[in-house]
Amino acid sequence: MRIGTLGRNCGTLDRALRLLAGVGLLGLFGAIESPARYITLLGFPLIATGLTGFCPLYAALGIATTGRKDGTS
């Protein structure tokens, strides 16, 4: 990863699953009547990481699902 840039650390399958899970969670927001429905708002960061290919938690833990050791694709 170059200094000043955020490299991708999420692979293609990981990104697709994040997008699907994020959209699914957001879709449940109106269907749940209890205060627990706000948990479904966790779909926003899932969608964001799916679109960008960068997960801050993965970066902090040194994880990359891109298939390359340096986290770039």
The model's pTM is: 0.78
Contacts for 41 with CB less than 8 Å, ≥ 6 apart:
25, 26, 29
Q: Which residue has the higher pLDDT, 67 or 43?
A: 43
Q: Which residue has the higher pLDDT, 28 or 70?
A: 28
What does the alpha-carbon distance between residue 22 and residue 65 come to, in Å, rounded to a whole number?
A: 18
Give the pLDDT confidence of 18-65 residue by residue, as tens digits: 999 999 999 999 898 999 999 999 999 999 999 999 999 999 999 999
Using the predicted structure, report yes or no on whether residue 2 has a pLDDT greater than 90: no
What does the alpha-carbon distance between residue 1 and residue 4 come to, in Å, rounded to a whole number?
A: 9
